[in-house]
C-alpha cells in the first residue's frame, strides 16, 4: 500500500468519495494509486508533461496492478483529459502562475468538473484570482508545514444558484472592531487568503507571513542603498506593502485576544 507525504495526504482527504479524478503533474501517480487502493475512487488519469515522469507513473500503476483503474497519459496540462471524462481535478506542487495558466488554457476541458483541489507552491493569489474570475467558489483553504516548507491547499467548486454571490462576499473588504483603522481589502484577501484572515489564525500562517515580511524588508533595505529614482519609488511601494501586511497580522492577533 502506498504511503503519502503529509501534503499529499491532505490533498487526498479533499477528493470526494467516488470521484473520477485527473491528477495533473502526477509525480509517479502516487495520489491516484493511494486513492484507488483505499477504495475512495475507481478511476483516475495521471497526467505528465514529460516522458520520464510518465514512465515512472506507468511503473507505479503496473506494480500496483491498477492498469484498469489508472490511466497514465502524456500531455501538457489538461490536454490529457477529454471534456466530461472526469469530475475532479488535482494540481499540486507547481507555482500559482502555472496552475492558473493550466486552468485557463484547458477551460474547455472543465466540462463536467465539479471540484478543483489545488496546491500552489508560490503565487497563491494568482490561483484565487483565476477562480474568482472564472466562476469557481473557493470553499476552503488549508495550510501545513512539512520538511521545513509551508504549503497551502485551495479547494473550489463551481458557482451555482446555491452559492451565487458568495465569492463576492468572500472577498469583500472588511474591518474588525479591535482595529477599525485597518482595512483588509480584496487585494490583501487575494494575497493572504480570505479563510486565513480570520480570528484565531493558524500559527503556520502567521509564521509564513512573518518570513514574507522579513524577505520584503531585505529587498527594501537593498533598494535603499541606491540613489536611482526608480529604486526610491520601488522602496516606497515595498514599505507600503510591508505596512499593509503587518497591519493584517497585528489586527488578527488583536482579534484573537
Domain assignment present for residue 185? The answer is: yes
Which SS3 state, helix, strand or coil, does residue 159 take?
coil
Write the pLDDT tens digit of every residue in 234-255. Answer: 999 999 999 999 999 999 988 7
Looking at residue 256, its pLDDT comes to 66
88 and 211 co-located in one domain: no
Domain end, chosen from 100, 132, 165, is at 165
Query: Which CA distances in Å does 240 have to 120, 177, 222, 233, 243?
Result: 26, 23, 16, 11, 5
Burial (Cβ within 10 Å: 0-12, 13-18, ≥19) of residue 49 = middle
Mean pLDDT along residues 63-79: 97
What H or E segment, with its residue span, contains residue 138? strand 136-146
Residue 81 · residue 25 · CB < 8 Å: no
50 and 160 co-located in one domain: yes
160 and 184 co-located in one domain: no
Interior angle at CA 95, CA 106 and CA 17, nearest 5: 60
Domain end, chosen from 165, 191, 210, is at 165
Domain assignment present for residue 1? The answer is: no
Write the pLDDT tens digit of every residue in 33-49. Answer: 999 999 999 999 999 99
Mean pLDDT along residues 39-65: 97
CATH code, 144: 3.40.50.150
187 and 218 co-located in one domain: yes
Residue 225 DSSP symbol = T
pTM for this prediction: 0.94
Question: Cell numbers at residue 214, please?
Answer: 522579513
72 and 147 co-located in one domain: yes
Mean pLDDT along residues 83-93: 97
Looking at per-residue pLDDT, the higher value among 200 and 203 belongs to: 203
89 and 204 co-located in one domain: no
For residues 73 and 254, give the distance between their C-alpha atoms in angstroms, rounded to a whole number: 50
Domain count, the chain: 2
22 and 90 co-located in one domain: yes
Which range marks the domain in which residue 48 is found?
6-165
> Torsions phi, psi of 135, nearest 5?
80, 30
Mean pLDDT along residues 195-206: 93
Alpha helices in the chain (DSSP H): 6-12, 30-37, 51-63, 96-105, 124-133, 166-170, 186-192, 203-224, 229-256
pLDDT above 90 coverage of the chain, percent: 85
Strand-pair partners of 45: 22, 71
Amino acid at each position: 500500500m502506498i504511503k503519502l507525504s503529509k501534503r499529499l495526504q491532505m490533498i487526498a482527504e479533499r477528493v470526494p468519495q467516488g470521484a473520477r479524478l485527473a491528477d495533473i503533474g502526477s509525480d509517479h501517480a502516487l495520489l491516484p494509486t493511494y486513492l484507488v487502493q483505499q477504495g475512495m475512487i475507481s478511476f483516475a488519469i495521471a497526467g505528465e508533461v514529460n516522458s520520464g515522469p510518465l514512465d515512472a507513473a506507468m511503473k507505479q500503476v503496473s506494480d500496483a496492478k491498477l492498469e484498469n483503474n489508472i490511466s497514465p497519459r502524456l500531455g501538457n496540462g489538461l490536454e490529457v483529459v477529454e471534456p466530461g471524462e472526469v469530475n475532479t481535478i488535482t494540481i499540486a506542487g507547481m507555482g500559482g502562475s502555472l496552475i492558473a495558466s493550466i486552468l485557463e488554457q484547458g477551460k474547455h476541458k472543465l466540462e463536467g468538473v465539479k471540484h478543483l483541489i489545488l496546491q500552489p507552491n508560490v503565487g497563491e493569489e494568482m490561483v484565487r484570482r483565476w477562480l474568482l474570475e472564472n466562476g469557481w467558489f473557493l470553499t476552503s483553504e488549508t495550510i501545513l508545514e512539512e520538511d521545513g516548507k509551508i504549503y497551502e491547499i485551495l479547494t473550489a467548486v463551481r458557482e451555482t444558484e446555491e452559492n451565487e454571490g458568495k465569492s463576492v462576499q468572500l472577498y469583500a473588504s472588511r474591518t474588525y472592531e479591535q482595529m477599525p483603522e485597518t482595512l483588509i481589502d480584496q487585494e490583501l484577501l487575494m494575497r493572504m487568503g480570505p479563510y486565513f484572515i480570520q480570528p484565531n489564525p493558524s500559527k503556520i500562517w502567521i509564521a509564513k507571513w512573518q518570513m514574507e515580511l522579513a524577505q520584503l524588508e531585505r529587498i527594501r533595505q537593498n533598494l535603499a542603498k541606491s540613489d536611482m529614482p526608480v529604486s526610491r519609488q520601488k522602496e516606497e511601494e515595498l514599505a507600503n506593502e510591508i505596512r499593509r501586511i503587518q497591519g493584517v497580522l497585528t489586527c488578527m492577533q488583536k482579534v484573537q485576544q
